[in-house]
Amino acid sequence: MLNPKILLKQFGIFWAVFIVLQLIVSTPPVRNGLAGMNASLFSSTAQRFMPEIKLNAFAKPENGEILFKFHSQVQADEMIREMQKSGKIAKVSVPEYEYGIDPAYYVNMALIFLVAIFLATPLVWRKRFLLAGIGILLFYLFSFVRVIIKLKYEIGQLNIGLYESDPAGFLSLHKMNNFFNSLGLIFIVIIIFWATLVFTRKNMEQIKLQLT
Amino acid sequence: MSRQQKKPSKQKQNNHKIKSRLVSWWDDQSIALRFLGLFALLLGLFYAFYYSNFNLKNIHPSILNAQAKLGSFLVNLFGQSTYADNQYIGGDGFNMSVSGGCDGLEVTALLVSGILAFPSTWKEKWKGLLYGGSILTVLNILRLPMLYFAGAKGSQALFDFLHVQGGFVIFISITMFIWGYWVIQVLNHRKTASVPSTTNTTDT
């Protein structure tokens, strides 16, 4: 017989891990370290998929916010071409834009939830950590998609002739941004990752043993 | 000649090996995969409807308005004088709006999908849907007055904590607990029923 009381213990582990990780991640050194890592990961990935903009990102030490600074590469090329046509040799100053995201809500909370749910799964501890690691990788792949969609949408809203020029395309970008960046979907995607990695025959046998 | 005859037989053997490995892998995974496939499909259907123009224009605003009215009514039971205007609950210098994501529909869809996708009888599913759905609905209704008091009488930090964490992490963890408890009840019930043909359903 499976004992439902053990489920309560796992529920307790989930909340203990979640609260402890939240407390650790909210301390300024950890928060800023994570934000810096996320800024560099997100900006390099976004840059690869958005060559039409020149993008940089960094973490603001005062609040751990990730600030994206970017300008349109298309606009810069056009300005240089015009300068060359007119024969003027001067420094080209392309308008630069900024966009900030709060990683506490955008990444950290979901990531902590993911780690807590894997560590609370009744499996041997080595496997819990291993599956949590794979889950983190999957979550980052998903986050890259979210960041690219978010940045494209936010840049489109600036009306600088990049992503808003095709109204139908921009409308679908708007819908995709609403969908992929809703908190509910992010958590549900994590649950699907968790279920995919945990619900194998071998794991289920282990879980049954642990719950007995 | 003998070489030519050996080659296809080796290939056949390899093909047979791959086939039997695939079959045994599918046998091992099929119940879990079927659960996952159905679970993801049901959630996909929910989101297709949830984000459809039809829902966003015709149904969703009415749900949010009703939740705001109910929330305001409950807050007023505790001696407050609040009003509900469309999706807003206001009064005593504090206003809050019930918007998409705060409606509790996503977590309810998670529970419903988890219960419907799990291999069980309709009788077992109905019980889970009825009890689990009722618990989530009651908790979600109580969440609005709690949030109002946290914002009006407490601090912005407390409100933010209960709003975001309460909205998703607390509710999703409770939903998963309810689902896990229901699964345990279903599996235990089958064991006590001692029907040999149904024992393999515990593999999921």
- Judge whether A43 and A57 are in contact, CB under 8 Å: yes
Nearest to A199 among B36, B181, B187 (CB): B36
- Judge whether B136 and B111 are in contact, CB under 8 Å: yes
Residues of A in contact with B36 (CB under 8 A): 192, 195-196, 199
What does the alpha-carbon distance between residue B35 and residue B117 come to, in Å, rounded to a whole number? 5
For residue B88 the two structure tokens come to 């807003």
**Amino acid letter for position B198:** T
Determine the pLDDT at residue A94. 76
A87 — alpha (psi -120 to 50), left (phi > 0) or beta? left
Determine the pLDDT at residue B203. 36
- Judge whether A91 and A83 are in contact, CB under 8 Å: no
On the CB side of A37, CA atoms within 13 Å amount to: 9
Q: Which of A203, A70, A186 is nearest to A138 (CA)?
A: A186
**Percentages of chain A per state (helix, strand, coil), in multiples of 5:** 70, 10, 20
B49 touches chain A (CB under 8 A): no
A11 — alpha (psi -120 to 50), left (phi > 0) or beta? alpha
What does the alpha-carbon distance between residue A117 and residue A106 come to, in Å, rounded to a whole number? 18
Smallest CA–CA distance from A106 into chain B, residue = B164
- B36 with A117: Cβ contact below 8 A: no
Low-confidence ranges of chain B (pLDDT < 70): 1-8, 26-30, 165-167, 194-204
Determine the pLDDT at residue B202. 38
Q: What is the DSSP letter of A183?
A: H
What does the alpha-carbon distance between residue A212 and residue A32 come to, in Å, rounded to a whole number? 43
Size of interface A-B (CB pairs under 8 A): 80
80-109 of B, contacting A, C-beta below 8 A: 100-101, 106-107
For residue B25 the two structure tokens come to 């892998």
A187 touches chain B (CB under 8 A): yes
What does the alpha-carbon distance between residue A188 and residue B172 come to, in Å, rounded to a whole number? 9
Low-confidence ranges of chain A (pLDDT < 50): none
- A183 with B177: Cβ contact below 8 A: no
pTM score, whole prediction:
0.82
Strands B83-85 and B88-91: antiparallel
| Digit-coded pLDDT (tens) for A85-142 | 777 666 777 788 888 888 888 899 999 999 999 999 999 999 999 999 999 999 999 9
What does the alpha-carbon distance between residue B65 and residue B88 come to, in Å, rounded to a whole number? 8
B23 touches chain A (CB under 8 A): no
Environment class of B122 (CB within 10 Å of its CB; exposed 0-12, middle 13-18, buried 19+)? exposed
What does the alpha-carbon distance between residue A151 and residue A180 come to, in Å, rounded to a whole number? 12
Determine the pLDDT at residue A89. 65
Residues of B in contact with A188 (CB under 8 A): 43, 106, 110
A90 touches chain B (CB under 8 A): no
